């Protein structure tokens, strides 16, 4: 398959002289035939417009085509802001067809973020309690009684893709991935849905320093990874082996390393 590479609008700190893939005007005018509604389109295009300022390169975008649905997007997590603009860019490339990302419900407590979660059809995960504790009073407003992974499994069964940051938290280490959580691997084995790995890189960043917010970024979308058939419920060793392959692939795509003994947080 031919690898397509292009550059988006160059941020002020970038030294690239390549033409942008899409301007702000193009972002606004691009039709969204697959969007579920106006508010969803508004949320996605707003996030994509923010990301276009930082994104300097993208490859493998043909793997995102709706004809390939369903799949599970997995990618490394380096900055807080990328959790909004990277999904926006990916959904924009799909002409508005949603990828249901899983995200911690605590971010809904940040003013305005809940609207983007709601319009972008994010699946909130209710595992972590809020701090300070009194904020947990608002938890029922932003979460469902049905567990997040059960809702993700239902989405995949209906042919809709989901997205997961398997590291589970922001990791600003420029060279090493966290061990991560095996939920994406288990979900893939249970549903027999392929993994679509994506590596987030920072081409101009000094790799001796932690990754900051708002710096030039490139997205490297890899080929789908297809799970081995399993009979019945996947066993723990099968989940661990599949998780290892997923994280190793993300490491290669992101220019980082992964080892099973790495810490989770």
Tens-place pLDDT, residues 181-232: 999 999 999 999 999 999 999 999 999 999 999 999 999 999 999 999 998 8
Q: Count Cβ atoms below 10 Å from residue 18 Cβ, excluding itself.
A: 13
Q: In what order do the strands lie in the sheet containing 195-201?
A: 5-6, 55-59, 217-221, 195-201, 72-75, 162-164, 100-104, 123-125
> In this predicted model, which residue has the larger pLDDT, 174 or 261?
174
| Residue 213 token pair | 């917010």
| Residue 19 token pair | 């033409």
pLDDT of residue 21: 52
> In this predicted model, which residue has the larger pLDDT, 109 or 1?
109
Average pLDDT over residues 237-258: 97
Q: How confident is the model at residue 7 (pLDDT cuts 50, 70, 90)?
A: very low
Average pLDDT over residues 126-130: 78
Q: Which of 39, 37, 12, 7 is nearest to 23 (CA)?
A: 7
Average pLDDT over residues 104-130: 81
List alpha helices for 143-235, DSSP H: 148-157, 183-191
Alpha-carbon span 58 to 85, nearest angstrom: 14
Indicate the average pLDDT of the chain. Answer: 87
pLDDT of residue 180: 94
Query: Do 152 and 191 touch, CB atoms closer than 8 A?
Result: no
Tens-place pLDDT, residues 13-54: 333 434 445 567 777 788 898 998 999 999 999 999 888 888
Cβ-in-10-Å burial (0-12, 13-18, 19+) of 117 comes to buried
Alpha-carbon span 173 to 155, nearest angstrom: 32
* Domains located in the chain, CATH noted: 5-254 (3.40.1130)
pLDDT of residue 23: 66
Count Cα neighbours of 226 within 13 Å in the Cβ-side half-sphere.
Answer: 3
Does the pLDDT at position 259 exceed 50? yes
pLDDT of residue 236: 95
> In this predicted model, which residue has the larger pLDDT, 131 or 177?
177
Q: What is the DSSP code string of 78-114?
A: --STHHHHHHHHHHHHTTT---EEEEEGGGGGSTTHH
Does the pLDDT at position 162 exceed 90? yes
pLDDT of residue 141: 78
Tens-place pLDDT, residues 59-78: 999 999 999 999 999 999 99
Q: How confident is the model at residue 8 (pLDDT cuts 50, 70, 90)?
A: very low
Percent of the chain with pLDDT over 70: 90
Does the pLDDT at position 106 exceed 80? no
């Amino acid at each position: 398959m031919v690898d397509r590479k292009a550059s988006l609008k160059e941020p002020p700190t970038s030294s690239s002289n390549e033409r942008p893939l899409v301007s702000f005007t193009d972002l606004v005018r691009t039709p969204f035939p697959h969007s579920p509604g106006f508010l969803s389109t508004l949320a996605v295009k707003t996030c994509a417009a923010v990301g276009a300022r930082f994104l300097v390169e993208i490859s493998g975008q043909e793997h995102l085509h709706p004809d390939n649905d369903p799949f599970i997007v997995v990618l490394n997590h380096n900055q807080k802001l990328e959790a909004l603009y990277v999904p926006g860019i990916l959904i924009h490339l799909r002409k508005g067809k949603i990828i249901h990302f899983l995200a911690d419900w605590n971010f809904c407590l940040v003013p305005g973020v809940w609207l983007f979660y709601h319009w972008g059809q994010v699946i909130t995960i209710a595992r972590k309690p809020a701090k300070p504790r009194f904020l947990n009073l608002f938890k029922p407003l932003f979460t469902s009684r049905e567990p997040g992974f059960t809702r993700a499994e239902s989405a995949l069964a209906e042919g809709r893709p989901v997205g997961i940051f398997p590291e589970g938290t922001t990791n600003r280490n420029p060279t090493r991935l966290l061990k991560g959580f095996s939920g994406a691997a288990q979900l893939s084995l249970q549903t027999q849905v392929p993994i679509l790995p994506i590596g987030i890189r920072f081409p101009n960043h000094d790799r001796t320093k932690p990754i900051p917010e708002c710096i030039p970024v490139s997205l490297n979308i890899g080929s789908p990874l297809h799970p081995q058939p399993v009979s019945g419920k996947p066993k723990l060793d099968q989940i661990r082996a599949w998780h290892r392959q997923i994280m190793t692939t993300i490491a290669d795509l992101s220019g980082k390393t992964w080892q099973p003994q790495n810490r989770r947080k």
